[in-house]
Amino acid sequence: MTRFCRVVACHVGSARVAVVGVALAVASRASAQQRAPVFQLQVDNDLFAVRGGGPPPDYDYTHGTHLSFSWNGGDLALAQEIYTPRHNEPASVLGDRPHAAWLFGEYGYPTVHGPWFGRFAMRGGVTGPPALGEQVQNGIHRLLGNHLELGWAHQLPTRATVDARADETRLLATTAGAGPSRLLEATVGGTLGTMQRSLRAGVQTYLGFGSVHSPTADAPLVARPGRWYLLGSYREDVVFYDGFIQQLPRDAMVPGARKRTLVAEAAAGIGWRTNRFAAEYRYVVRGREYEAEPSPHAYGSITLSIIGS
C-alpha cells in the first residue's frame, strides 16, 4: 500500500510539473501575443551621422532602406543596402571595396522563453544592377545637386543571395515595479550565407523614462516601454567572409579589398514612443572592415514606426 501511494504521489507530482510547465508555456505565449504589431520604416545614411562641417563621407555602407512589419508570429522585411568605395573613380582602385547594392527580402521567426529571446531569419535577394543601387544613389544625388558616383559600371555582378541568421538574446538585468523598463541584455549570434559568414556577440542597454506604454513586437524584452528612452550597444564580429568587400566585379583590373577578421560596432540612440507612433535615432560607428580602410565609418539611422493595437 505504501509503495502504491508513493507511485501515485510520483505520478501526481509529475502531473503537477507538467501542468505548471504547460501553464508557463501558455502564459509566455499569451504574454507574447499581447505585444502590439509594428510597421517600420528605417533609413540609414552617413548624411545623418553627427559630424563637424563639410559634406557627408558617402562611402562604405552609405545608405540603407528597410521596410518591415513585426508581429508575435514573426516579421517580414523588404530592404535595399548600398556600399561604395572610398575613392570616387570610374575604375576599381587597388585595395578599395567595390560598388555594391543588395536588394533582399527577409522572414524572421522570434521565440521568447523566460529571459531569453531568440530569432531565426532567412534572407533571399540579389546583387548587381537588378538591386538598383546606381539608380537610387545617383538619382538622389541629382536631386540634391551632389556629385555622382562614377564607378557603378564596375559594381558587383548579378547574383542570387541566400543568408541564414540566428541570434539569442539574454536578459541580464531589469528593473521591477511599475515604472518604465531599464534593462541590460547580451546577444550572441551568427550568419551563414552566400554573401556573409560571421559570428557576433555584444551587449545592449535600454533606459526608459516618462509614461508607460504597451509592449510592442519590435522590442520583445522591453516589458514597459517609456515615452522617452535611451539606447546603447557594443558588439564584436568575427568575420569569416564578406562578399561586399571580398568579391570583385568581373572586369576588375586590380586586386580588391582585404577583409579584417575582427570588426567592432558601437551605437547610441534616443527614441520617443506613444501607443500608436514612435521615432528613433541611432548614431552607429562601424570599425575598420578592410585593410585599406583608414578609419572607422559612422552613419545615422532613423526609424519611424506605426504601432497597432
Four-way CATH pick for 37-307: 3.40.50.1000, 1.10.287.3610, 3.40.50.300, 2.40.128.140:
2.40.128.140
pLDDT digits (tens, 9 = 90+) for 235-246: 999 999 999 999
Cα gap 18→201, rounded to integer Å: 34
Dihedral Cα 216, 222, 223, 228, nearest 10 deg: -80
pLDDT of residue 176: 83
pLDDT digits (tens, 9 = 90+) for 70-100: 998 899 999 999 999 999 988 888 999 999 9
Q: Phi and psi at residue 56, in whole multiples of 5°?
A: -65, 160
Closest CA to 84 of 57, 64, 59: 59
pTM: 0.86
Are residues 125 and 103 in contact, defined by beta-carbon separation less than 8 angstroms?
yes
pLDDT digits (tens, 9 = 90+) for 131-154: 999 999 999 999 988 889 999 999
